[in-house]
Amino acid sequence: MDIGLAMAGILPLVVFAIVDIFAGMRTAIIAAIVIALLEAGWSWYRFGEVDNITWISIGLIVVMGLISLRMKDSRLFKFQPVVLAGVMVITFAWFQWRGDPLLVQMMPKVASFFSPEQQALMSDQRMINAMARLDLLMVGVFAVHGSLVAWSALRKSTMHWLIMRGVGIYVLMIFAVLINFMIAPPQ
């Protein structure tokens, strides 16, 4: 996996947390905004476009960062991942309600990244059903993650918040995948 893809969306928040320790909230928020804009530029350069989720994330970092600077309170800035989690809950729930799960829609779009054998697996009805179930589980994953990040932003240190934001989502996604396999194990 490309390290740039793995760090997408979290790098500005990592920079915020580190700079906050050494230079204070104001400098940390400005640094996070600059890194978010550079991240968008890199995405544009590397892929020829910036995806919608990245635009939303960058927009939230800039807007919530500016408001936090004005209010002189970093907690609002720390709620950027909470708002993004809310957007993801609404997005996944919307596609579930429409009967067209988002992860199932994405399968043909990402198929070119996989080998022909893996592409054939992606068109198997069992895999499609598993992705539809996982899509539904993502509603819960993002709801729980948003709640945990909000709690961390209000009650815990910046580092605890960053760990919950960065590592927490991956842990929850792994649990969702495991639950998905427990519901219907592969045959």
The confidence score (pLDDT) of residue 6 equals 45
Residue with tokens 């697996």: 121
Q: Which of 2, 55, 10 is nearest to 32 (CA)?
A: 10
Helix %, strand %, coil % of the chain (to 5): 85, 0, 15
> d(Cα 80, Cα 123) in Å, to the nearest integer?
36
Instruction: Grade residue 66 by pLDDT with cuts at 50, 70 and 90.
Output: very high
What does the pLDDT read at residue 73? 86
Q: Could you report the per-residue pLDDT of 33-63, keeping only the tens digit for each?
A: 999 899 888 888 888 888 777 788 888 888 9
pLDDT at 141: 95
CA 106/CA 104 separation, integer angstroms: 5
Q: What is the pLDDT of residues 85-130, one digit of tens each?
A: 999 999 999 999 998 898 888 888 777 777 888 777 778 888 888 8
Give the position of tokens 């009805």: 125
Please give the pLDDT value at position 2: 44
Whole-prediction pTM value? 0.78
